[in-house]
Amino acid sequence: MGPSFKGGVATPHHKKATEHLAIERAPVPERLVIPMSQHLGAPCEPLVAKGDRVERGQLVGDVEAFISAPVHSAVAGTVVEITDTLTPAGSRSRAVVIEPNESQELERFVAVPEEEDRVARVRAAGVVGMGGAMFPSSVKLKPPREFTLETVIVNGCECEPFLTCDHRTMVELPERVTAGARLVADITGASRVVIGVEDNKPDAVEALRTQAGSDIEVMALKTKYPQGAEKQLIMAVAGKEVPKGQLPAATGALVHNVGTVAAIADAVERGRPLIERVVTVTGAVRRPGNYLAVVGTSIADLVEHAGGLHDDVEVVFAGGPMTGFALASLDVPVVKGTSGVVALRAGETRPEVGEDQPCIRCGRCPEACPIFLQPFAIASHADADDWDGAHHYHALDCIECGACSFVCPTRRPLLQLIRVAKHALLDRGERP
């Protein structure tokens, strides 16, 4: 059994439906909605107007801000509208709406400008964290000068139930993953490269080890949720704890998702902007699969390509059921961080969906919490709008893995309450 961290939970995997299905390209839809905010940081401003013709890979949004990432058209077509759109996370964003041309040459794209500085090329390509966080990768590649990076950790754990997009990326594109890992190490000066993969993916471990040379270690890690969370992965691989209030770089480690490093390799070596990604569509759909979708495809179109929903679907998540967002409508676009679309029937929903009851102080959530918080206490203070109390119990340190909600026997919406507390504390200027 491989290395791991303290705490966490054993979640059902629910990956059999798609883990052995090869990546399949989804069709280009009749309409694309490209949000200007597909990353943490400053949203982009549209650089095109209604009526403009655009090419696949053309820059359509950018902003002069350090923490940001430009966005590009995923197709050749015509801009039909600049409007507001709802994103999978429930926020609103300006968006460029594009009607694709009838014929598309999907192997061609407008390459980002040649840059001697590889980090600048990563930014120009709009690469962000593809595991869901969507933090601009160019910023991560330039940590504060006081930190010396020793280890690059590539996150291939994919511990979220149902999702297999990273798994298939590792099996089918190991050369891209290892090339990106080497680039990140070369850019940052790190001397050690480790690709961490949960041991329930032996074919991915084998594919990567076949491709990796002596300069890359492929480490099989214990299958446990949330093994792929950044702080927990650093602990499992490097045996170091991220100090409170510090960046992960303070441990000398830098973590990137497998899809992200593959995108970094494509950006640096080929000038390819991030305009499409693999999305796992699974659960109560008629044709589950791992689909390569152009950014801006509506989730409704992607679900239709997957055969549509079964009649008894109760909820659809963007992302996985532990950390994803329940969708009020499928008319939202796939963005750079959309790793999955998971449809669940009644009775299959995660524990916090349903009738909750008062906390019984059973102690299961502190035991499951991978960073040793007391989720029940934070949630109780949040329920009472007591933000000082929530801050006292370190609400802002929560990594939002959802392990607490998963183990709660009274179905308390612990993660949602903690998220409310975090937003309230951040709004009043508190910091972790």
The number of beta carbons lying within 10 Å of the beta carbon of residue 49 is 9
pLDDT of residue 275 exceeding 80, the answer is yes
Question: What is the reported pLDDT for 353?
Answer: 45
Q: What is the rounded CA–CA span in Å between residue 207 and residue 94? A: 40
pTM for this model (two decimals): 0.92
User: For the chain, how big is the Rg over CA atoms in Å?
Assistant: 21
State the average pLDDT for the chain: 93
pLDDT-derived band at 65 (thresholds 50, 70, 90) equals: confident
Order the strands of the 217-221 sheet from edge to edge: 217-221, 192-198, 151-155, 253-257
Place of tokens 């961290």: 5
Q: What is the rounded CA–CA span in Å between residue 170 and residue 153? A: 15
**pLDDT tens sequence across 375-417:** 999 999 999 999 999 999 999 999 999 999 999 998 888 998 9
pLDDT-derived band at 132 (thresholds 50, 70, 90) equals: confident
β-pair partners for 293: 277
Q: What is the rounded CA–CA span in Å between residue 192 and residue 230? A: 17
Q: What is the rounded CA–CA span in Å between residue 414 and residue 403? A: 9
Do residues 68 and 42 make contact, with C-beta atoms less than 8 angstroms apart? Answer: yes
| Domains of the chain, start order | 24-110+273-345 (3.10.20.600), 118-270 (3.40.50.11540), 364-427 (no CATH)
Question: What is the reported pLDDT for 1?
Answer: 59
